[in-house]
Structure 1
Amino acid sequence: MLDLLITNARVVNEGQVQTLDVGIRDGRIERLASHIDQPARETLDANGRHLLPGMMDDQVHFREPGLTHKADMASESAAAVAGGITSFMEMPNVRPPTLDAATLEAKYELARERAWANYAFYHGASNDNLEAIKALDPSTTCGIKIFMGASTGNMLVDAPQTLESIFANASIPVVTHCEDTPMVQAREQAYRERYGEDLPFRLHGEIRSREACLKSSGMAVDLARRHGTRLHVLHLTTAEEMALFEPGPVENKQITAEACVHHLWFSDEDYDHLGSFIKCNPAIKTPADRDAIRAAVNEGRIDIVATDHAPHTLSEKNNSYFAAPSGMPLVQHALLSLLEQVHQGNFTLETVVEKTSHNVARRFEVADRGFIREGCFADLVLVDMTRDTHVERESLLYKCGWSPFEGTTFRARIEATFVNGQRVWDGQQLVGVPAGQRLTYRRS
């Protein structure tokens, strides 16, 4: 007997949309067929709605340990499944930072039985933890995170020899935040002298400039090419950076690239009414940059779309330019923002699924997830492309309690989210208990 039978679903998977039944047992997809005549403990008629593999978000900051006044594993993973995200990869700039095997395993313990979505954690790099990186067990982490730009705590890697050694010794993907710190600091000083503390937020993209992004991204690509490193460059923001990356399928690429949903949605024209709510690093830039990133998604220069979910409290955000921290909460409406762009004609559903699910599993060699295939875990999201979702503060599940999308109406709705075959979101509320599992990998 099946645990769950989903009938009459328009399954979006591997470049096709097909009407199928999906049979689930013991957390995995057991059967895919045009019609499944098999008893099940529960049957759900999708009634022609779209069934997608759950989004796998390869870049989030859930703030635990040490920064839990902003967010924690439970609150942010709850918001994630409400938004159709079934797996997340979380960043190391917490307190203490994730710079060795012990702090890495401690984060897995924090997530166990509390995370609503499946989870993995990056091992961080610093100027002085090269030996820990060399000793890293590849099965314990999704990748090595290098902040090649300003960061919190002891996580800015700017020593040239250290960068060379990390790129030379990494046996798993290296992921990079690329901004040139000296260039950013020089701009900050110049603009502070001109404007004082009350700097207009619309100048954020000039301070964290396109030149600073391109210089650092170019350095990362050069390092990877010289050392044969598997490199994944995060949250690209400029048209110029797109030329650093090759178009085409992600399979067998040594160097891959990511865009984030906010850089695909907002532009610097939005700073005047959203201010600190869209202050993030690297900065949101011009409409022309946004258009170039969208084009790169369709060309295959951008391989993955993620969130860089990075919440701060309202009191922290409601400050002048230099006092307001960078980052915003995004996981609850990230997939909806991409589905809205399907409505707008910017992307196809098949492209959204490829960039948010298939390619994440491929790039990080995640075992048995990211696809709707027999034998894969049943990490699924049921979407109604004809029902609206209006974003109101009262509906948010983030601990920080706000969203840059407030007041937006998306022309799609997350009707249900399944993690390891368990329904955890029913379109209105969380159901059941946290069902997330630790991600595993198939790595040579």
Structure 2
Amino acid sequence: MVLKNARVFTFQGIITGGVAVDEGKVVKLSKEPESLRADEVLDAKGFLLLPGLIDAHVHMRDMQLSYKEDFYTASCAAAAGGITTVIDMPNTIPRTCSLKALREKMEEAKKKTLINIAFYAGFPSKLTEVKQMTKEGIVGFKLYPHDPFEEIDLANEEQAQIYFKAAAENNVPVSIHPDDLETIKKLQSKLKLQKLSDIEIFLGSHPAESERKAIAKYAELGAKTGCHIHFCHISSMESLAAIKKEQGRGVKITCESTPHHLLLTKEELEKLNTFAKVLPPLRSKNDNIALWAALLDGLINMIVSDHAPHSLQEKQKPFLEAPSGFPGLETLFPVMLTKVAHGDLRLEKLVEMTSSSPSKIFKVGNKGMLREGYDADMVLVDIKEKWKIDPEKFYSKSKFSPFKDWKVVGKVRNTFINGSCIMSDDEITAPKGIGSIIQIRH
């Protein structure tokens, strides 16, 4: 296949020309693609061609949570958002905490996906399965200290050290949702005795201090074991300072942030109620500013969606009972492209944060760049089109978003997996199962 009449993004500059694809790989970037022989020639109509996005933090749900989302609807949502590879989280039902559960999940995903999916796992009860799950190709292990689901007690430092050392020996990172359970419980008990609103109790029991404490604790485990620690959805200036300090003493740490933590504040939570409820919570404008600075100077390594779909019925429960999270696969790219259009973010930085950096850190293969020999996972974008976000049109089963009615600049026209077009002008154009399961060789 040859895609002609494109503006092709490379880190050395934009090439006006096109790209040739054979057997799923980019074989040629050319200023004169018409000279290349091909079975199929597509006209890019002058749109910008970028590497497909790699979203390293996605809850695809499925299995017993398929009423919230499944591998097919999530992959359709990803395709619509220009995302060609996702890393799926393990806090599903059943939990992905054993080799058996991991294999079952992979088999289910293989039948339904349109895109590339890699997987996290939770730590297994059998220590020997750490190596087996790594050989099966997981990206790494994920911990939720505020809501642990493993059969082992990782709050016990001796036990945690054994598992973190095993992860280090198998060359996989441990990703942490940084929150401190003891801090949360103490604050919740104290705040519930006061005359506060549910939102005030929620915000007060998940302060930046809880995030910072967790970062200090797990960075220390990283230092003791040599394990690569990845901190998820960083939300506060205190956390950024803690990460910088730990990196300064040589601990191997990477981290991510989300569009909602970069762009929204707790004022949106007060206005939108449960539909903006997320963990970590939305914080202050000053935190937004600190996160942007950290993103621009390289302390934050990637931007992720933290796509966390729920049913409308669940989100309409009383505030403290409603689950945290909202869909993000279809909003990540347009809201960040809008920052590019407004001159707040360089295009090169956006591509680095959403494609090349997650590819390198999580070793997802020849992805994340438009380069000869790399997988032809690509997205064609009209960077000038203005439109409004309408959650009713989402492919995700979750038809709500804190970005509802946002006016954005930049529209995904086509999404390609291995050179095959899976989405064109908001229409899914490929069958279930065309995507692939990424099994990483560590």
The two structures share one fold, judged by TM-score above 0.5: yes
Report the CA distance between 1:13 and its aligned residue.
Answer: 3.0
Q: Which residue of 1 aligns with 2:114?
A: 116
Matched, 1:161 2:158: yes
Alignment partners' CA distance in 1, 2:304 and 2:163? 24
CA separation of 1:162 and 1:15: change in aligned 2, threshold 3 A: farther
Alignment partners' CA distance in 2, 1:156 and 1:121? 23
Q: Which residue of 2 aligns with 1:232?
A: 230
Cα deviation digits, residues 229-251 of structure 1 (max 9, x gap): 1121111011111123459xxxx
Q: Which residue of 1 aligns with 2:57?
A: 59
Q: Which residue of 2 aligns with 1:380?
A: 378
Report the CA distance between 1:195 and its aligned residue.
Answer: 3.9
Report the CA distance between 1:84 and its aligned residue.
Answer: 0.4
Alignment partners' CA distance in 2, 1:135 and 1:439? 16
Matched, 1:20 2:20: no
Q: Which residue of 1 aligns with 2:415?
A: 417
Q: Which residue of 2 aligns with 1:43?
A: 41
Higher deviation after alignment, 184-193 or 72-81: 184-193
Q: How does 1:245-394 map to 2 (within 5 A)?
A: 245-246=243-244, 254-394=252-392
Report the CA distance between 1:25 and its aligned residue.
Answer: 1.6
Report SS of the residue matched to 1:140: coil
Q: Which residue of 2 aligns with 1:437?
A: 436
**TM-score using structure 2 length:** 0.93
Q: Which residue of 2 aligns with 1:142?
A: 139
Report SS of the residue matched to 2:385: coil
Alignment partners' CA distance in 2, 1:155 and 1:70? 28
Q: Which residue of 2 aligns with 1:182?
A: 182
Alignment partners' CA distance in 2, 1:345 and 1:142? 34
Q: Which amino acid aligns with 1:210?
A: A
Q: Which residue of 2 aligns with 1:11?
A: 8
CA separation of 1:20 and 1:277: change in aligned 2, threshold 3 A: same
Whether the aligned pair in 2 keeps the contact of 1:12 and 1:353 (CA below 8 Å) is no
Alignment partners' CA distance in 1, 2:336 and 2:428? 22
Alignment partners' CA distance in 2, 1:62 and 1:129? 26
Whether the aligned pair in 2 keeps the contact of 1:15 and 1:351 (CA below 8 Å) is no
Alignment partners' CA distance in 1, 2:404 and 2:325? 16
Cα deviation digits, residues 261-319 of structure 1 (max 9, x gap): 21112111211221111111111111111111111111110011111111111111112
Whether the aligned pair in 1 keeps the contact of 2:114 and 2:430 (CA below 8 Å) is no
Report SS of the residue matched to 1:48: coil
Whether the aligned pair in 1 keeps the contact of 2:215 and 2:243 (CA below 8 Å) is no
Cα deviation digits, residues 125-176 of structure 1 (max 9, x gap): 26x4444225433452111111122256768842222221122111211111
CA RMSD of aligned residues (A): 2.2
CA separation of 1:181 and 1:288: change in aligned 2, threshold 3 A: same
Whether the aligned pair in 1 keeps the contact of 2:79 and 2:423 (CA below 8 Å) is yes
Alignment partners' CA distance in 2, 1:382 and 1:439? 23
Report the CA distance between 1:15 and its aligned residue.
Answer: 5.7
Alignment partners' CA distance in 2, 1:388 and 1:42? 30
Q: Which residue of 2 aligns with 1:102?
A: 100
Whether the aligned pair in 2 keeps the contact of 1:202 and 1:272 (CA below 8 Å) is no
2:210 to 205, 209, 212: 212
Q: Which amino acid aligns with 1:312?
A: H
Segments of structure 2 that go 5 or more residues without pairing to the other structure are none
Cα deviation digits, residues 10-63 of structure 1 (max 9, x gap): 222336333231011221111112212123233223233211111111111111
Alignment partners' CA distance in 1, 2:244 and 2:236? 15
Alignment partners' CA distance in 2, 1:59 and 1:275? 23
CA separation of 1:336 and 1:15: change in aligned 2, threshold 3 A: farther
Whether the aligned pair in 2 keeps the contact of 1:71 and 1:400 (CA below 8 Å) is yes
Cα deviation digits, residues 309-337 of structure 1 (max 9, x gap): 11111111112221111011110111111
Alignment partners' CA distance in 2, 1:155 and 1:285? 32
CA separation of 1:38 and 1:380: change in aligned 2, threshold 3 A: same
1:31 to 28, 49, 63: 28
Alignment partners' CA distance in 1, 2:28 and 2:12? 19
Q: Which amino acid aligns with 1:399?
A: K
CA separation of 1:227 and 1:155: change in aligned 2, threshold 3 A: closer
Report SS of the residue matched to 2:319: coil
Report SS of the residue matched to 1:388: strand
Alignment partners' CA distance in 1, 2:423 and 2:381? 12
Report SS of the residue matched to 1:386: strand
CA separation of 1:84 and 1:156: change in aligned 2, threshold 3 A: farther
Report the CA distance between 1:440 and its aligned residue.
Answer: 3.8
CA separation of 1:34 and 1:244: change in aligned 2, threshold 3 A: farther
Report SS of the residue matched to 1:133: helix
Q: Which amino acid aligns with 1:23?
A: A
Report SS of the residue matched to 1:219: helix
Cα deviation digits, residues 345-388 of structure 1 (max 9, x gap): 32111111101110111001121111111111111011111112
Whether the aligned pair in 1 keeps the contact of 2:123 and 2:150 (CA below 8 Å) is no
Segments of structure 1 that go 5 or more residues without pairing to the other structure are none
Q: Which amino acid aligns with 2:72?
A: A
Q: Which amino acid aligns with 1:273?
A: K
Q: Which amino acid aligns with 1:326?
A: S
Alignment partners' CA distance in 2, 1:31 and 1:155? 50
Report SS of the residue matched to 1:205: helix
**TM-score using structure 1 length:** 0.92
Whether the aligned pair in 2 keeps the contact of 1:367 and 1:440 (CA below 8 Å) is no
